[in-house]
Amino acid sequence: MIRRARLHVRAMVVACGAGRVLRLQLLMLLGALLEAVVLVLLVPLVQLLAGDDDVRVPVLGVDVGPVALLGVAGAAVLLRGAVQWRSAITNSDVLLRTTDALRLRALRGVLEADWTYLVRQRRSDVVQATTTEMERVDAAVHLLLRSAVDLLLLAASAAVAVVISPLLGGLAVLSLVVVVALGRGSVRRSIALGVEWTRRNALFGATVTDSLASLRLIRAHDSSEQWVRLLDDAAREGRRIEHRYVEVTSAMQAIVGYAALGAALGLVLLGRAIGLGVAELVALAAVTTRLLSVARGLLTSTQAFAHYSPALDAVQRIIDETAAHREGLEGPEVSSTSRLASSHLSTRQGAGAPRTSTTGSTSTSGPLLELRGVAASYGDRPVLRDLDLVVAPASLVAVTGPSGAGKSTLLDVVLGLLPPTAGEVVVGGEPLTDPRAWRARVGYVPQQTVLIPGSVRENLTWSAGRPVTDDDLWRALEAACVADVVRQLPEGLDTVLQDLAQLSGGEQQRLCIARALVREPDLLVLDEATSALDAATEADVVANLRRTPAALLVATHRPAVVGVADHVVSLAPAEDEPRA
């Protein structure tokens, strides 16, 4: 609990600055104190309205005249309104800044994390943590702010009770300690239920995300029932957890409520027995009741905070893990020459090693990119071994091999996403030490088309990395043989592509190629990027791409591409015996 509260406070201070958080706390405290002043003045005000000229302020025990009383009460009411107004604004500002900052840190962490870490993560966990779980973090931050003020009020009420009567005040504080002890078990159970709730949310989010990603297949196989059942199971689990939480917390609140009432009555009776005056008794009853009601409110807030705070763990886990796996932290290993040396001493051929070599000559101006003795693996599983590859400027290198041989893995190494476990990636004659700078010179078209639900223009420009004109866009569209398709769309470049895009698979692929071309890359990396095109269109696209200044590195099974390549690298599947 304390650790989670500390994390929340740190998040608030990082997002909003200590000054703003402190100002908010002071405002909330001032508002609560003014509220107490107004309450205290209610009794003499009622006496005054009833025609009694000799009125006395309880607790302080001082006599006040009607003018002073009305003046002080009026000022307190006005000031309380102003303070509440200001504190509501600051409160919402602190809450929004804190949750927005956490959300952005988590998302930035994911977007900039090391690729080998990212491929092990579940996408829906990130979606869930930065959306639904953030609402619970928001509630937890709010409760934490509220509880800090309640704690101060509790201390103030306890002090007043002790001043009125050290014995009875002491007993009131003792009953407070009993309340806290009673509530500890329910707080622990609230945390456990909060953890279960976070887990259930992850399951719920994954089911929704996965079902939407499989929409076409679900309809084609008419299997919506299975997904609905999964969602229903997750919803039922949610109801069970929430039901249990309400049971635990409301039972505890009822017990504490009875205990508070009993303690207040007992203290008043005890006070009478030891001869306290009526004024002191009334004041003591008021202060004790306040003390115990603040304690009860605090218990409620603590239970709710305990329930919500595991959501922060989900967000914090992403922030911490992505910070530990930030791309570049392991950068120097990528091009370690000692690794290169040892790799050359090991097996020269094997899984992923080139079977066929070049079918043409390399450029004399020096290679754009070289892989020297590269090996790559996922955990203990080797995929590429001792691979050499040269890509000359403006050349076309085709990478072929059966499914699972490691073509996409090779492209990930070239992109600097997957650091080789041995060997070296060399760009322009220099070992690759800054993959991000290298990727600024690369255009990439993945195996699965990625289009966002925005306009054609937005789809082409979001990754351009430079200001682009419409002429640039049309040039790229022409090269990708998709300009005519875009011209026929109702609003041309400004046509919005829906989630379930209104373009055919091949048209989507060509749009993705155009998007990569807009970057004006030195190297265009295509992963089966023309697999949905007919042979004639594919040949046109490849011929157009060859006319651009970019070198092409193409993973493909298609003879049309292999046939016009300058080099063909054919990968053997991992199970193959090493070949000479």
Ligand X SMILES: Nc1ncnc2c1ncn2[C@@H]1O[C@H](COP(=O)(O)OP(=O)(O)OP(=O)(O)O)[C@@H](O)[C@H]1O
Binding site for ligand X (CB under 6 A): 119, 378, 381, 383, 401, 403-409
Minimum separation from the CB atom of position 407 to ligand X (A): 4
Q: How far is 288 from 301, CA to CA, in rounded Å?
A: 20
CA torsion angle 69 73 79 83 (round to 10): 140
Is the torsion defined by CA of 513, 515, 517, 522 positive or negative?
negative
Please say which residue, 310 or 419, places its beta carbon nearer to ligand X: 419
Q: Which is nearer to ligand X, 216 or 381 (CB)?
A: 381
What Cα–Cα distance (Å) separates residue 378 from each residue in 95, 312, 335, 442, 575? 41, 30, 18, 24, 15
Q: What share of the chain is helix, strand, coil (3-state, %, to 5)?
A: 65, 10, 25
Nearer to ligand X, 121 or 253 (CB): 121
Q: Where are the alpha helices (DSSP H) in 112-131?
A: 115-118, 123-130
Identity of the residue, 205 or 406, whose beta carbon is nearer to ligand X in the bound complex:
406
Q: Report whether 33 contacts 93 (CB < 8 A).
A: no
Q: How far is the CB of 508 from ligand X (least distance, A)?
A: 18
Closer by beta carbon to ligand X, 76 or else 525: 525
Please say whether the beta carbons of 314 and 129 come within 8 A.
Answer: yes
Q: How near is the Cβ of 571 to ligand X at its closest, in Å?
A: 7
- The distance of closest approach from Cβ of residue 250 to ligand X in the complex, given in angstroms and rounded to an integer, is 47
Are the CB atoms for 198 and 120 separated by under 8 Å?
Answer: no
Least distance (Å) from ligand X to the CB of residue 381?
6
Cβ 492 to ligand X, closest distance in Å? 34
Closer CB to ligand X, residue 89 or residue 119?
A: 119
Q: Any idea what the Cα angle at residue 563 is, between residues 560 and 564, rounded to 5°? A: 95
Q: Tell me how far, at minimum, the Cβ of 119 lies from ligand X, in Å.
A: 4
Q: In 466-570, which ranges are continuous DSSP H helix?
A: 470-479, 483-488, 505-518, 535-547, 559-563
Residue nearer to ligand X on the CB measure, 385 or 407: 407
How far is 51 from 48, CA to CA, in rounded Å? 5
When the beta carbons of 358 and 531 are compared against ligand X, the nearer one is 531
CB of 386 to ligand X, least distance (A): 16
